[in-house]
Amino acid sequence: MAASAGTAAAPRRVRARPPGAWIVRARAWDVSLRLDAPALTVGTAMAALAAAALVLSLTMGDFPVEPREVVRALTGGTADPMVNHIVVQMRLPRALTAAGVGAALAMSGMLLQRLAHNPLVSPDVIGINAGAAAAATAAIAVLGGTALQVAGFALGGAVATAVLLYLLAYQRGVSGNRLVLLGIGVSAVLGSVTSYMITRADIDTAQRATVWLTGSLANRDWAHVATIAAALAVLTPLALGLSRQLRLLQLGDDLAVALGGRVRLARGGLLLTAAGFSALATAVAGPVAFVALAAPQIVRRLLAERAVGILPAAGCGAVLVLLSDALARTGFGGGELPVGVVTGILGAPYLLYLLARSNRTRG
């Protein structure tokens, strides 16, 4: 199929050390980290933006709180115990969960897009989310499970699907393209199982399942924060460590091997890392659509030609989900909407705008 010419990035000259880059090597673990001044700037800006979005999100709700008060509540408490309680106990866990889910989804999407050389590849496409969704829908429709059971089922479904995909795709190594195609096949099967359960359920159950399938952060507490924080703490260093291999993989396998890349190992590691990010994010918040696809693309278009770092994408995903959830909680009058509805409404126009004013950048 001739699409290798299509969305695949044209191979570019990759210099070992672009201007303004420092390389930090830790020989003992054979890991090196390129620190690249512009990417670092963007990363810092994204982190600042995420912090601002977090504060903004904490000010919003039925009981508005001044941003100053929010900062004070976070840094040691205000005089007003009521404000402390609302900000720290009620809003903060949900906001932190939103940020963590956004960052995890964005990194998952970033790794997969780079692995497959295809901007449409996200965890929604390769079947991991479909596995989580089918298991969670079963928990809702068949068992009438509690929120915790649903999350557990979702995680189990995601992990089982990832393992199945890996076994299906493994033929003397795993190729990104084959994995994506197999993922589409597996997604189709699992998706039809999910649809079947929803058409068989009564309307209340169907509604509950639909909310979960859209992605929601309602009633998220510190347990969810801990889950997603642990996921990020374990997987982000892995993603960063393997990202040098990503740059090699972009050159094509033969060249990557010649330059000393361990292609098979790197690809397997990157896939598992991406799957882990999306599995945990989905278990915590449901399969929030579009973040994994959009965040890397938005950052990429803001950074134009430069190879995009993983952390800026994570920051962008965190901002997107934080703001979306703040709007979902407050912006629509009459009850709240699932966050997954708002991510598309908020993120898609921005991505469309970036596309519309793009100039000759590589895809």
Partner 1 sequence: MAAPATGTTYAGAAARTSQHERTSEAGLLRGAGARGAGLAVAALVTAAVALASLLVGREVLSPADVYAAYADFTGSDTDLIVTHLRVPRTLAGVGVGVALGVAGAVVQGVTRNPLGGPGILGVNVGASLAAVLAITFLGVTAVNGYVWFAFVGAAVATVVVYGVASLGSDGVTPVKLALAGAAMSALLGSVTSAVILRDRTSLDEYRFWSVGSLAGAESQMLAQALPFAAVGLVMAVALVRQLNALALGDELAQALGLRLWLVRLLGGVTVVLLAGTATAAAGPIGFLGLAVPHAARALAGPDYRWIVPWTAVLSPALLLTADIVGRVAVRPEELQVGIVMALVGAPVFIYLVRRQRRAGM
Residues that bind partner 1 (CB under 8 A): 1-7, 118-121, 125, 168, 171, 175, 177-178, 180-182, 184-186, 188-189, 191-193, 195-196, 198-199, 203, 206-207, 210-211, 214, 289-290, 293-294, 297, 332, 337-338, 340-345, 347-349, 351-352, 355-361, 363
Angle formed at CA 54 by CA 89 and CA 322, multiple of 5 degrees: 100
Nearer to partner 1 by Cβ, of 241 and 296: the residue is 296
Minimum CB distance to partner 1, residue 20 (Å): 27
List 21's β-bridge partners, or say none: 36
User: Which helix (H) or strand (E) is 26 found in, with range?
Assistant: strand 21-26
Minimum CB distance to partner 1, residue 247 (Å): 20
Please check whether residue 211 is in contact with residue 288, taking contact to mean a CB–CB distance below 8 angstroms: no
Q: Alpha helix (H) ranges present in 201-305?
A: 203-214, 222-249, 253-258, 263-285, 291-302
Nearer to partner 1 by Cβ, of 312 and 338: the residue is 338
Dist. CA 165–CA 180, nearest whole Å: 9
- Categorise residue 30: left if φ over 0, alpha if ψ from -120 to 50, beta otherwise: left
Dist. CA 327–CA 321, nearest whole Å: 10
List 24's β-bridge partners, or say none: 33
Dist. CA 259–CA 251, nearest whole Å: 10
Nearer to partner 1 by Cβ, of 72 and 267: the residue is 267
Could you tell me how far CA 109 lies from the centroid of its own chain? 6
Tokens of 115: 């692995």
Minimum CB distance to partner 1, residue 284 (Å): 19
Please check whether residue 57 is in contact with residue 322, taking contact to mean a CB–CB distance below 8 angstroms: yes
Nearest to 117 by CA among 250, 245, 21: 250
Query: Residue 207 is which amino acid?
Result: Q
Nearer to partner 1 by Cβ, of 56 and 184: the residue is 184
Minimum CB distance to partner 1, residue 193 (Å): 8
Minimum CB distance to partner 1, residue 219 (Å): 17
Minimum CB distance to partner 1, residue 161 (Å): 13
Nearer to partner 1 by Cβ, of 9 and 35: the residue is 9
Please check whether residue 141 is in contact with residue 200, taking contact to mean a CB–CB distance below 8 angstroms: yes
Nearer to partner 1 by Cβ, of 144 and 363: the residue is 363
Nearer to partner 1 by Cβ, of 262 and 301: the residue is 301
Tokens of 28: 């003992």
Minimum CB distance to partner 1, residue 355 (Å): 5
| Rg (alpha carbons) of the chain, rounded to whole number | 21
Nearer to partner 1 by Cβ, of 103 and 165: the residue is 165
List 33's β-bridge partners, or say none: 24
Minimum CB distance to partner 1, residue 265 (Å): 19
Nearer to partner 1 by Cβ, of 7 and 330: the residue is 7
Cβ atoms within 10 A of the Cβ of 153, count?
21
Minimum CB distance to partner 1, residue 356 (Å): 4
